[in-house]
Chains A and B, each alone.
Chain A
Amino acid sequence: MVSVVYEAPDSIQGAIDLLANATITTKVLAGGTDLIIQMQGVNEERLVVDVKKIPGMMDATLSDKGLDLGPSMPCAEFTARDDIKAVYPGLVEAAYLIGSTQVQGRCSVGGNLCNSSPAADTIPALIANGAQCVIKGPGGERTVAVEDFVTGVAQNCMDKGELLTLIKIPRPAANTSDAYLRFIPRTEMDIAVAGAGVSVTLDDDGTCTAARVAIGAVAITALLVPEAAQALIGTKLDEDALQAAADAASAASKPITDRRGTVEFRTHVVGVLVKRAAKIAAERAGG
């Protein structure tokens, strides 16, 4: 018989000790909406470390510096925060897309990030907002940009004993906003076939002065696409500029054909999404 050892430490150090000293496979548990499914039918002993009892893991603090997001905060709480939504509407929309009402009650942005699926909805939105991951482990603390955090399909830069303790999202400059769009064949309960997160900053006459464009589900990891951002910067986000950004995103994508879509489809649609997300972000930024 296979057994699962469950621990719920109340400090980060306690979690690190458990993870670092374990002799069996370890798994951090946040909402479990990925993890519990992945553990079905697994035939090995496991240590599951529930991090939800650790102070700070379930909180979110918004200040003039930005957002300090506890990685395990359930999306239902996160998306109910109007103060956060006012600043990062695209990120909140991305979090809201995960699953259903039931799933929302458990799933978290940190879990979405650490699960490191190429199709994870919040990752492009986090990248568009320049989010940073604070990781703690036996060797201390380090900070990694989200675009560098995920290294492959279901792989990230965390080593044994490490865990994600905070997601830091800088406060956007004035006249900045974001948007996230994904393509699914249905209206909900589906996995992104392509996704795009865009953040734009406008000056007073509506010219784009800064932008970040990130795309999801079209490569083994979500990608930051500086070429697409460059296509937007210095323009008034006219049709030509939007099309250039779309083309840059399509060019940067390296999708595969699978049961959810073809290479041709994903390559084209990711561009369409970048274009549409940039338009929405600009409308929001322009106020």
Chain B
Amino acid sequence: MSEAQEFKHIGQRTIRPDGHDKVTGRANYAADLALPDMIWGKILRSPHAHANIKGIDTSKAEAHPDVFAVATHADIPNSDAGGVLNILAKDKALYHGHAIASVAARTEAAAEEALALIEVDYEVLQPVMSIEEAMADGAPLLHESLMTKGLAEEPTSPSNVASRMEMNKGDIEAGFAEADVIVEREFRTATVHQGYIEPHACTVRYDEDGQSMIWCSTQGHFGVRQSTADILSMEQSKLKVIASEIGGGFGGKLGVYLEPVALILSKKSGRPVKMQMDRDEVFKGSGPGAATRNKVKIGAKKDGSITAMEAHLYYESGAFPGSSPLGPGCMTVFTPYDVENQYVEGFDVVVNKARCAAYRAPGAPQSEYAAEMVINELADELGIDPIDFRLQNAAKEGTQTMYGPKLKAVGLVECLEAAKNSDQYKTALKENQGRGLAAGFWFNVGGDSSVVINMNQDGTGTIVEGSPDIGGSRASMQMMAAEELQMPVDSLIPVIGDTQSLPHSNPTGGSRTTFATGMAVIEAAADVVSQFKERAAATWNVTPDQVEWKDGVAINTSGDGELTAAQICAAASRTGGQISGRGNINAQGAGPSFAVHLADIEVDPDTGQTTVIRYTAIQDAGKAIHPSYVEGQFQGGSAQGIGWALNEEYVYNKDGLLENPGYLDYRVPLASDLPMIDTVIVEVPNAFHPYGVRGVGESGIIPPLAACGTAVSKAIGIWMTELPMSPPRILKAIQDKS
């Protein structure tokens, strides 16, 4: 790939192909499908955070005249399948809102009436609601047989610690011995939700012949097929999953909640079943982002060189072991720094909260928040500008990461320089205002993507891809295909194929779609081009290498003749049949994306209220295919991270019950809460992608936590160590100081 690549479509701001449907309300989301004879499924959820289930009596619900089917854990065909205890609890309710039983009835109201008729005999247990409580001596156990993995010595008794991990490089002790200044702090972050607007929903049908269909909102319909088929002991060929339009996911729609239950109910009732969570259920019963308690210690010399970085990370996994993003949390914590001596230890701990799910750059915001806060405090202690301090220690091409590989070309230095040159950094602050800067690192992933480009007889085409479009990726696919085929963008219509139209594709997650599925699109388009050349060559009786493809036209280089795509396609049945290109790849070489954010926040010293007055998000996109959607990703990540930093948290009462399952009291930032988020796209190409693309979807949620954390800390003159920095918490810090 050359630096001087010239593009016709890439980098333009085209109109997204899904735009009209979405702004007119025509687009079909998960709850929009109704089928003839369809009935409604509903879930009975645990009113307790921790309880033994001694019995479930569904007889009264079954006798309800409008009820068609009732299902409990006992109805799950494969009770060894992954995650089934979360789908429907067996003998323990492990969190407030844990699914216990389900019914399908003629109407939604009848289903709700029937739920009230189910009698569950609970033995209420003491809930375990924090890392401290979970790790305390004599803590109630969530799982009687949970033995900590990863300890030096095999444990002899069960605990709530699911696993321990450790990574290091260099000599941490020697590193601290060299340091002139050491800062060590402990931070806390709360349980948060991804806050997608569209609740989980599905419509399913299980036919007499065992053929079945699921329509749902998901980040990965192949994954839905895999886990649902596993839970129902079905062959994958029997299950067609169609991904609806999706109203946000952010990692929270990678797993399944309703789909297997709905299919069991459909199988039992012989009717199509629709299920839809209400908002309360989304908060209680889907997977939030992990709460954490993280200790970070960093040492540096007077000259600003960092000598040692150490972290001890504790991640709540929710009710089931291994569900926290501890691994990526550990792997990312110090990656922005080219420092020889690093050590990290991490724990995955179960608590009586909903099972954690992925949330945009899973695990990284929490651990990097702690690291970036300490970096900023250390810069202060040393009297060095936080950008200069980072530039001096920044990871770059060749930096050895703690988790394994050496970094290839990355854009952290470029992002830091852009921050230094930004308007915001040059704007003076007023009284009660503070500025925070933070960096963020996320790997991004590649993996399986499958694409077919089907050419029509008039020379237009359809791009069939297997990656649900959450962030405008269909527009990018269209642009990449158009670039490669040298055809007009709107002559190629991108669609998301169902699980029967394509081979397996990994989900839209890990910021992989524009990178990996984009590569598959490019490969499929190249396949079409080579077939165009073959067909033209056959027409002219020359060899394909004597044909050039230029501006959407085949040119005979050894004679006369030009054929357009339309002409080749129109003649296809006579030159060897219809044309389609294929790109089934396992994409390698995902390029990490570094981000640097600047937050200016004003604090009202009398109330602790925060106002974000300026915000700039800078990030390396490698190559921005569609700059507007790249900027949108930066802004969306920033908004979510700002919410995480300032106001968002699950509030539990003393019995472990969730008190704020709704957007009134789970406070995501409103449009009016935020200033315009300025963006700077840095482009340091990823050598492994034909156009240089890196994923951009996730890194943007990492820096806001420490950028806001530092801005607030500077505004009030106290280092804040707990998120969210809600007004009561800030006011208390101010009052405690004075």
Q: Which A residues lie at the B interface, using CB under 8 A?
A: 1-2, 41, 43, 183, 185-191, 193, 258-262, 264-265, 268-269, 272
Chain A hits for B669, CB < 8 A: 186
Q: Return 5 A-B CB contacts under 8 Å, by A number.
A: A186-B672, A186-B673, A187-B672, A259-B660, A264-B728
B585-632, CB < 8 A from A: 606-609
What separation, in Å, do the CA atoms of A185 and B673 have in the docked complex?
Answer: 10
7 closest residue pairs by CB, A with B:
A265-B728, A259-B651, A187-B672, A272-B606, A259-B659, A259-B660, A259-B665
Is there contact, CB below 8 Å, between A190 and B667? yes
Chain B hits for A188, CB < 8 A: 670, 672
B428 at interface (Cβ–Cβ under 8 A)?
no
**Nearest-CB residue, chain A, relative to B650:** A259
B732 at interface (Cβ–Cβ under 8 A)?
yes
What separation, in Å, do the CA atoms of A272 and B731 have in the docked complex?
Answer: 12
What separation, in Å, do the CA atoms of A259 and B283 have in the docked complex?
Answer: 15
**Nearest-CB residue, chain A, relative to B660:** A259
Chain A hits for B488, CB < 8 A: none
Chain A hits for B672, CB < 8 A: 186-188
Besides A189-B664, A191-B664, 17 other CB < 8 A contacts? A43-B113, A183-B607, A185-B609, A185-B667, A186-B667, A186-B669, A186-B670, A186-B672, A259-B651, A259-B665, A261-B728, A262-B728, A264-B728, A265-B608, A265-B732, A268-B735, A272-B607
Chain A hits for B728, CB < 8 A: 261-262, 264-265
Q: Least Cβ distance of A73 to chain B in Å?
A: 25
Is there contact, CB below 8 Å, between A41 and B112? yes
Q: Least Cβ distance of A262 to chain B in Å?
A: 5
Partner of A268, one of B113, B673, B731: B731
**Nearest-CB residue, chain B, relative to A188:** B672
B726 at interface (Cβ–Cβ under 8 A)?
yes
Partner of B609, one of A2, A43, A183: A183
Q: Least Cβ distance of B65 to chain A in Å?
A: 11
Name the residue among A190, A191, A259, A261 with the largest chain B CB count within 10 angstroms: A259
What separation, in Å, do the CA atoms of A2 and B113 have in the docked complex?
Answer: 11
Is there contact, CB below 8 Å, between B647 and A258? no
What separation, in Å, do the CA atoms of A188 and B663 have in the docked complex?
Answer: 12
What separation, in Å, do the CA atoms of A258 and B664 have in the docked complex?
Answer: 14
**Nearest-CB residue, chain A, relative to B665:** A259
Is there contact, CB below 8 Å, between A186 and B665? no
What separation, in Å, do the CA atoms of A99 and B727 have in the docked complex?
Answer: 21
What separation, in Å, do the CA atoms of A260 and B651 have in the docked complex?
Answer: 10
Is there contact, CB below 8 Å, between B665 and A260? yes
Q: Least Cβ distance of A179 to chain B in Å?
A: 16
What separation, in Å, do the CA atoms of A41 and B281 have in the docked complex?
Answer: 14
B109 at interface (Cβ–Cβ under 8 A)?
yes
Chain A hits for B608, CB < 8 A: 265
Chain B hits for A185, CB < 8 A: 609, 646-647, 667, 726-727
Q: Least Cβ distance of A67 to chain B in Å?
A: 30
A187-B670 contact given A1-B109, A260-B665, A262-B728, CB 8 Å threshold: yes
Is there contact, CB below 8 Å, between B665 and A269? no
Is there contact, CB below 8 Å, between B731 and A258? no
Name the residue among B660, B731, B735 with the largest chain A CB count within 10 angstroms: B731
What separation, in Å, do the CA atoms of A269 and B605 have in the docked complex?
Answer: 11
Partner of B731, one of A41, A186, A191, A269: A269
B659-700, CB < 8 A from A: 659-660, 664-665, 667, 669-670, 672-673
What separation, in Å, do the CA atoms of A187 and B670 have in the docked complex?
Answer: 8
A189-B731 contact given A258-B659, A259-B651, A260-B665, CB 8 Å threshold: no
Partner of B664, one of A183, A190, A261, A265: A190
**Nearest-CB residue, chain B, relative to A191:** B664
Chain B hits for A260, CB < 8 A: 665
Name the residue among B607, B609, B646, B731 with the largest chain A CB count within 10 angstroms: B607
Chain B hits for A187, CB < 8 A: 670, 672-673
Q: Least Cβ distance of B663 to chain A in Å?
A: 8
Chain B hits for A191, CB < 8 A: 664
What separation, in Å, do the CA atoms of A90 and B666 have in the docked complex?
Answer: 29
What separation, in Å, do the CA atoms of A183 and B727 have in the docked complex?
Answer: 10
**Nearest-CB residue, chain B, relative to A189:** B670
**Nearest-CB residue, chain A, relative to B724:** A185
Name the residue among A41, A191, A260, A262 with the largest chain B CB count within 10 angstroms: A260
Chain A hits for B109, CB < 8 A: 1-2
What separation, in Å, do the CA atoms of A152 and B425 have in the docked complex?
Answer: 52
What separation, in Å, do the CA atoms of A119 and B54 have in the docked complex?
Answer: 42
What separation, in Å, do the CA atoms of A2 and B647 have in the docked complex?
Answer: 39
What separation, in Å, do the CA atoms of A105 and B251 have in the docked complex?
Answer: 37
Chain B hits for A264, CB < 8 A: 728, 732
B102-149, CB < 8 A from A: 109, 112-113
Chain A hits for B670, CB < 8 A: 186-189
**Nearest-CB residue, chain B, relative to A183:** B607
What separation, in Å, do the CA atoms of A268 and B727 have in the docked complex?
Answer: 12
What separation, in Å, do the CA atoms of A268 and B647 have in the docked complex?
Answer: 19
What separation, in Å, do the CA atoms of A259 and B647 have in the docked complex?
Answer: 11
Chain A hits for B651, CB < 8 A: 259
What separation, in Å, do the CA atoms of A191 and B664 have in the docked complex?
Answer: 8
Chain A hits for B727, CB < 8 A: 183, 185, 193, 261, 265, 269
Chain A hits for B647, CB < 8 A: 185-186
Chain B hits for A190, CB < 8 A: 664, 667
Q: Least Cβ distance of B648 to chain A in Å?
A: 10
Q: Least Cβ distance of B148 to chain A in Å?
A: 34
Partner of B607, one of A41, A258, A262, A269: A269
Chain B hits for A262, CB < 8 A: 728, 732
**Nearest-CB residue, chain B, relative to A258:** B659
Q: Least Cβ distance of A98 to chain B in Å?
A: 13
Name the residue among A183, A185, A191, A260 with the largest chain B CB count within 10 angstroms: A185
What separation, in Å, do the CA atoms of A230 and B720 have in the docked complex?
Answer: 39
What separation, in Å, do the CA atoms of A4 and B609 have in the docked complex?
Answer: 43
What separation, in Å, do the CA atoms of A186 and B609 have in the docked complex?
Answer: 8
Q: Least Cβ distance of B461 to chain A in Å?
A: 43
**Nearest-CB residue, chain B, relative to A40:** B278
B323-341 toward A: CB 8 Å interface, digit per residue (1/0)?
0000000000000000000
What separation, in Å, do the CA atoms of A1 and B66 have in the docked complex?
Answer: 11
Q: Least Cβ distance of B283 to chain A in Å?
A: 12
Q: Least Cβ distance of A2 to chain B in Å?
A: 8
Q: Least Cβ distance of A43 to chain B in Å?
A: 8
Q: Least Cβ distance of B8 to chain A in Å?
A: 43
Q: Least Cβ distance of B281 to chain A in Å?
A: 13
Chain A hits for B112, CB < 8 A: 41
